[in-house]
């Protein structure tokens, strides 16, 4: 007969103490639990091997050394209340029960939970409850806990678990994708503060939502074949839950895009606070940890340049206008952008100038700001050239404050009055930029902008595709110049509306109206080096105007239509309980296929007209081709304009008082 006591002693000595875990209490606890009672009959002889073992339902009992590492990191004291998520066989729970005051172990398979409960009872363990349930939600009724151990991997740390830690409590969880995870130790160091560090690379089975009943009847959809699932169920199955945006770990999930050269972040309205906050968090992460130095937005170049100087610790340009005064001001004059600028300013403080992150505008609407910037640059560097430029741009002067009128005039006369002049000026500036560096690059970008804007306003009156295309080509070219200027390793984050960043070929824009956009052009140019990430919502409030140039109003967003992608995602939220998630259509073939049928998608710009919502704001799209990923916020709030807190080390007026 196998001498289990002897095998156990050898296991503790070799696999646990031998690998540096020396706390006598832990070693005693392992010595006290007969591991052979926790594995299937036929596998008992292998119970003390240095490996995980199957326990039924496709699950495994973890390797002793891993269990020991988790317990050591959790620093369990004799009075502690401990939660284990993923009780499985009950083995780890049994070891824990020898170290802690009370142990609560949750297991999603009701059958496994019952067996574990029976084993613990047979061993006379009285301070450990095994509960059948979904441990992703923790155990709110028993919280808070001194320690929480999760025996299944997760892409993100479930927020419920963090919240159920006592201050000072420790959460141990394997975080990462399928192949390998980091065993992470998260310490709740304050009411609103969590610190974390990684312990080791590990491999665990996945943490899955829902529960599985004893008779095999599924209370959740996880085991049905994909073809038997509704689209919302399929979305729920493949979604990656996102923590609250203010959680420091919010953006970690987006590390999967960090190896791209260009990451484009969309929005399905220009006035939704969550989209701004999420994009700011993702941008900070990409800039701080992944070498992105270009933050380029659907904002006007000369206006963004004012903020750019400030965040890169350069003095303001004399005579520069206060930025972002043009409708719709809330798009950039808002507390989220103010905070992001402060953060980039702080990140840049310790960086050499060529490693600093910059903020750039891709859009063409502030033509007069660009003219002014070009003239100011030439006045300082080359007065003779400034005189020539003044003459050339003089052609546009009468129209500067109202360039649309220039367009109407040019249309009436049937030609582009100022075209040759602005193109000549642009060419001169580009040539100068090739010879000089620094400020000359910005001046050349402004010169390009004036040339694009002149054409834009001229053709605007033909309407539709041509002017749209020109604007998006200008944006794509500007992005190209920024990347080129930044050198071969330069990487960019782009902020623009879903209608700009979602591949136009996958929507009515391309299919029906002959429009292309920056997302499509970027894919054509940089291929797989681009990630297009759309953002969507079901309902809530939004900042928008009723007419162009109108006042900002906070409007209610009508709940999404039944025939829309938004409704599919909303129902997925109801299915899985996650209000926020990331969906990667390419992560699963069945999901991709189901997201490849056209469906309605909502587009809210700076104008929102709920009365005519179907025709003003919905359009056909094929989500799986439009985006590489889609970020979902089930309910969202209006972006409020203005206001920012003063910060140490920068002028009170920064960034908007300048």
- If binding is defined by CB under 6 A, does position 207 make contact with ligand SAH? yes
Q: Coil, helix or strand for 502?
A: coil
37, 62, 370, 489: the catalytic one is 62
Q: Is 33 in the site for ligand SAH (CB under 6 A)?
A: no
Q: Does 62 qualify as catalytic in the annotation?
A: yes
For residue 585, the minimal CB distance to ligand SAH (Å) is: 24
Does position 120 interact with ligand SAH (CB under 6 A)? The reply is no
Helix ranges restricted to H, 246-295: 273-289
**Nearer Cβ to ligand SAH (4/461):** 4
Tokens encoding 625: 């081709």
**Omega before residue 144 within 30° of 0, cis:** yes
Closer residue to ligand SAH, CB minimum distance, 120 or 544: 120
When asked if residue 152 is in the footprint of ligand SAH (CB under 6 A), the reply is yes
Query: Does 85 participate in binding ligand SAH (rule CB under 6 A)?
Result: yes
Applying CB under 6 A, among 15, 31, 59, 348 the residue interacting with ligand SAH is 59
Residue 62 binds to ligand SAH (criterion: CB under 6 A)? yes
Give the one residue of 8, 16, 83, 91 binding ligand SAH; rule: CB under 6 A: 91
* Contact status: 92 vs ligand SAH (CB under 6 A): yes
Q: Does 134 bind ligand SAH (CB under 6 A)?
A: yes
Count of residues touching ligand SAH (by CB under 6 A):
25
Q: Tell me: does residue 16 bind ligand SAH (CB under 6 A).
A: no
Among 69, 89, 517, 568, binds ligand SAH (CB under 6 A): 89
Report DSSP letters for 296-348, one per residue: EEEEEHHHHHHHHHHHTT-PPPTTPPPS--SSSGGGTSSHHHHHHHHHHHHHH
Collect all residues with Cβ–Cβ distance below 8 Å to 383 and sequence separation of at least 6: none
Q: Which residue has the tokens 């200008």?
A: 474
Reference 544, options 443, 637, 413; nearest CA is 637
Cα distance between residue 12 and residue 194, in whole Å = 33
Residue 86 near ligand SAH by CB under 6 A: yes
Local structure of residue 220 (DSSP, 8 states): S
Handedness of CA 591, 597, 599, 605 (dihedral sign): positive
Site string for ligand SAH, 599-628 (x = CB under 6 A): ------------------------------
Residue 83 near residue 164, CB atoms below 8 Å: yes
Is residue 280 a contact point for ligand SAH (CB under 6 A)? no
Among 68, 106, 331, 482, binds ligand SAH (CB under 6 A): 106
Task: Give the angle subtended at the CA of 605 by the CAs of 599 and 611, to the nearest 5°.
Answer: 75
User: Binding segment for ligand SAH among 53-61, 218-226, 535-543, 573-581 (CB under 6 A)?
Assistant: 53-61
Given CA atoms 349, 351, 353, 359 in this order, what sign does their dihedral have?
A: negative
- Pick the stretch among 83-91, 339-347, 384-392, 517-525 that binds ligand SAH (CB under 6 A): 83-91
List, in sequence order, every residue forming a beta bridge with 618; answer none if it has no partner: 602
Contact flag: residue 15 with ligand SAH (CB under 6 A): no
**Per-residue DSSP letters for 165-209?**
EEEEEEEEEEEE-SS-EEEEEEEEEETTEEEEEEEEEE--PBP-S
Q: How many residues does the chain have?
A: 658
d(CA 162, CA 189): 11
- Nearer residue to ligand SAH within complex by CB, 73 or 453: 73
User: Which residues within the stretch 213-272 sit at the binding site for ligand SAH (CB under 6 A)?
Assistant: none
The three-point CA angle 582-584-586 to 5° equals 175
- 76/432 with CB nearer ligand SAH: 76
205 is a contact residue toward ligand SAH (CB under 6 A): yes
Closest approach of ligand SAH to the CB of residue 38, in Å: 6
> Minimum Å distance from CB 126 to ligand SAH?
19
Q: How far is the CB of 571 from ligand SAH (least distance, A)?
A: 21
Q: How far apart are CA 585 and CA 328, in angstroms?
A: 33
Residues 627, 629, 634: CA angle, nearest 5 degrees = 110
**115 counts as binding ligand SAH under rule CB under 6 A:** no
Site membership for ligand SAH, residue 366 (CB under 6 A): no
Closest to ligand SAH by CB, 64 vs 416, is 64
Measured between alpha carbons, how far apart are the two ends of the chain, in Å?
84
Please identify which residue in 35, 108, 273, 570 interacts with ligand SAH, judged by CB under 6 A: 108
Beta carbon of residue 30, minimum distance to ligand SAH (angstroms, whole number): 12
The binding site for ligand SAH (CB under 6 A) comprises: 55, 59-62, 85-89, 91-92, 106-109, 112, 134-136, 151-152, 205, 207-208
Q: Which residues are marked as active site?
A: 62
């Amino acid at each position: 007969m196998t001498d289990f006591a002897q095998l156990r002693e050898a296991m503790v000595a070799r696999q646990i103490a031998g690998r540096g875990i020396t706390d006598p209490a832990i070693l005693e606890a392992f010595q006290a639990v007969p591991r052979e009672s926790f594995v299937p009959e036929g596998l008992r002889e292998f119970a003390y091997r240095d490996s995980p073992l199957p326990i039924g339902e496709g699950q495994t009992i973890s390797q002793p050394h891993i269990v020991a590492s988790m317990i050591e990191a959790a620093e369990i004291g004799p009075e502690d209340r401990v939660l284990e998520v993923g009780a499985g066989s009950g083995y780890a729970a049994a070891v824990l029960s020898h170290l802690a005051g009370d142990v609560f172990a949750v297991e999603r398979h009701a059958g496994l939970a019952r067996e574990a409960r029976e084993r613990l009872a047979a061993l006379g363990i009285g301070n450990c409850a095994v509960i059948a349930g979904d441990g992703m939600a923790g155990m709110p009724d028993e919280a808070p806990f001194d320690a929480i151990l999760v025996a299944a991997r997760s892409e993100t740390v479930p927020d419920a678990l963090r919240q159920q830690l006592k201050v000072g409590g420790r959460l141990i969880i394997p975080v990462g994708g399928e192949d390998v995870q980091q065993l992470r130790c998260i310490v709740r160091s304050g009411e609103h503060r969590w610190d974390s560090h990684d312990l080791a690379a590990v491999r665990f089975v996945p943490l899955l939502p829902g529960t599985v009943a004893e008779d095999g009847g599924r209370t959740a959809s996880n085991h049905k074949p994909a073809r038997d699932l509704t689209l919302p169920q399929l979305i729920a199955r493949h979604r990656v839950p996102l923590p609250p945006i203010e959680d420091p770990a919010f953006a970690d999930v987006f590390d999967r895009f960090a190896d791209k050269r260009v990451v484009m972040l969309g929005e399905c309205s220009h006035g939704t606070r969550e989209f701004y906050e999420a994009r700011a968090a993702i941008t900070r992460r990409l800039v701080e940890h992944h070498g992105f130095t270009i933050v380029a937005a659907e904002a006007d170049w000369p206006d963004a340049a004012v903020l750019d100087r400030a965040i890169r610790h350069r003095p303001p340009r004399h005579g520069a206008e206060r930025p972002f005064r043009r409708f719709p001001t809330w798009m950039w004059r808002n507390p989220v952008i103010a905070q992001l600028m402060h953060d980039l300013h702080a990140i840049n403080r310790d960086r050499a100038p060529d490693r600093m992150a910059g903020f750039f505008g891709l859009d063409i609407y502030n033509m007069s700001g660009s003219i002014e910037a070009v003239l100011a640059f030439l006045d300082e560097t080359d007065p003779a050239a400034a005189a020539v430029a003044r003459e050339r741009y003089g052609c546009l002067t009468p129209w500067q404050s109202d360039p649309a009128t220039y367009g109407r005039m040019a249309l009436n006369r049937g030609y582009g009055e100022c075209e040759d002049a602005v193109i000549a000026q642009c060419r001169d500036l580009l040539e100068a930029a090739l010879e000089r560096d620094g400020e000359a690059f910005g001046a050349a970008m402004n010169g390009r902008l004036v040339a694009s804007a002149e054409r834009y306003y001229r053709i605007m009156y033909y309407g539709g595709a041509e002017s749209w295309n020109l604007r998006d080509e200008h944006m794509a070219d500007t992005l190209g110049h920024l990347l080129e200027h930044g050198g071969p390793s330069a990487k960019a984050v782009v902020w623009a509306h879903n209608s700009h960043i979602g591949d136009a070929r996958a929507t009515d824009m391309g299919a029906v109206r002959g429009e292309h956009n920056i997302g499509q052009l970027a894919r054509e140019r940089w291929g797989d080096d681009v990630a297009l990430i759309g953002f969507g919502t079901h309902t809530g409030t939004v900042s928008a105007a009723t007419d162009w140039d109108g006042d900002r109003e906070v409007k209610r967003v009508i709940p999404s239509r039944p025939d829309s992608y938004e409704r599919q995602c909303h129902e997925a939220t109801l299915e899985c309980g996650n209000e926020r998630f990331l969906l990667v259509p390419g992560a699963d073939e069945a999901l991709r296929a189901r997201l490849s049928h056209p469906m309605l998608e909502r587009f809210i710009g700076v104008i929102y007209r709920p009365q005519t919502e179907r025709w003003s704001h919905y359009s056909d799209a094929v989500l799986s081709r439009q985006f590489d990923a889609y970020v979902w916020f089930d309910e969202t709030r209006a972006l409020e304009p203005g206001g920012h807190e003063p910060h140490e080390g920068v002028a009170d007026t920064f960034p908007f008082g300048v």
